[in-house]
Amino acid sequence: MTQNEKPWIALAATNDLPIARPPVNHVVKDIADIREIQLPYKTLSTEDIIFWAQQLQGAEGILLRSGYITGEFLEYLPNIKVIAVHGTGVDPVDLNACTERKVYVTNTPGANADAVTEITIGLMLSLARQIPTSALQVKQNLAWDTARHTGSELKGKTLGLLGLGEIGKRVAVIAKAFGMNIIGHDPGLTDREIQNRGANSVSFPELAKNSDFLSLHAPAIAATRNIINKEFIAQMKPTSFIINCARGSLVNEVELANALTANHIAGAALDVLEGEPPNPSSPIFNAPNIILTPHMAGSTLECLNTIAATAAGDIVRVLRGESPKNPVNGPF
């Protein structure tokens, strides 16, 4: 880049996974040029990496909503200073490789909290009252009396929360307004901190045994991978439900599908899956009593605007030589 050239940042997005452009333009202003790169959301071959690295040549920042930035990919991107992940989970980025190359990785903690909280409650109600099943029967079969399923109320039920960060504590507040009893498990918090966030602290086995509804709000780390598995589900009530609007890796899909087929639990609602895009041969698609949504918990206009502005703000800070507000690694 010559002295008079502006740096440029890439918006890695697709038509299905867009980035809100107006807030990015407002934040970036004349500090850098902005280019949209439709980086595919899949694992890339070396040949594909070389192709997409050519599209990204010279970019100093990436606002990443679509695609994976691996260590191999970074080798072809010598100018990159910061990768701002569009959301909270940074698993699409090789954090160790970025740290070795002194590339900042940032995220947007809390920016999607209201949107994810609302859909979590919506999925809980959908499971309890069998809303999707009834609606589909009315629309497709013109059924009426036969489409009227007897559900259950949330009042008096126990909601178990695995994770009590920004989203978990918001879910607790709304669930309590429904008259639910709230229990929670979060190894990163003390019992008092969990209590202050609206839940009674319980052990992991107690969470399984006592939850009528289990809502997952934990990060995707090694300790949480497949934490919801056949051993955990075996301890749950046969009338209980699982809701996952966090990360797909928390749930062993095969073992959940088997549990649903065997009626070990009453149902589940998943907004995230182990692989995204998901494996079409996964048994989860044929499991009974399950609601599947396409990772849309954060897909509201308000949320997308907030995330875009927050992520772009950190890119601008790094390009100015400042420290980002929401770093996941560093400082450098």
**What positions carry a catalytic annotation?**
247, 276, 295
State how far the Cα of 57 lies from the Cα of 198, in Å rounded to an integer. Answer: 48
Distances (CA, A) of 88 to 32, 77, 104, 178, 201: 24, 23, 15, 28, 24
Sign of CA dihedral 126, 132, 138, 143: negative
Q: Which two tokens stand for residue 142?
A: 């013109």
State how far the Cα of 167 lies from the Cα of 113, in Å rounded to an integer. Answer: 5
Write the DSSP assignment of 227-281 as a string of letters.
-BSHHHHTTS-TT-EEEE-S-GGGB-HHHHHHHHHTTSSSEEEES--SSSSPPTT
Partner residues linked to 105 by β-bridges:
83
State how far the Cα of 203 lies from the Cα of 171, in Å rounded to an integer. Answer: 19
State how far the Cα of 219 lies from the Cα of 306, in Å rounded to an integer. Answer: 20
State how far the Cα of 277 lies from the Cα of 19, in Å rounded to an integer. Answer: 18
- Give kind and range of the element (H or E) at residue 133: helix 131-141
CA nearest to 161, candidates 153, 152, 170: 170
Sheet of strand 61-64, all strands in order from the earlier edge strand to the far edge? 33-37, 8-12, 61-64, 82-85, 104-106
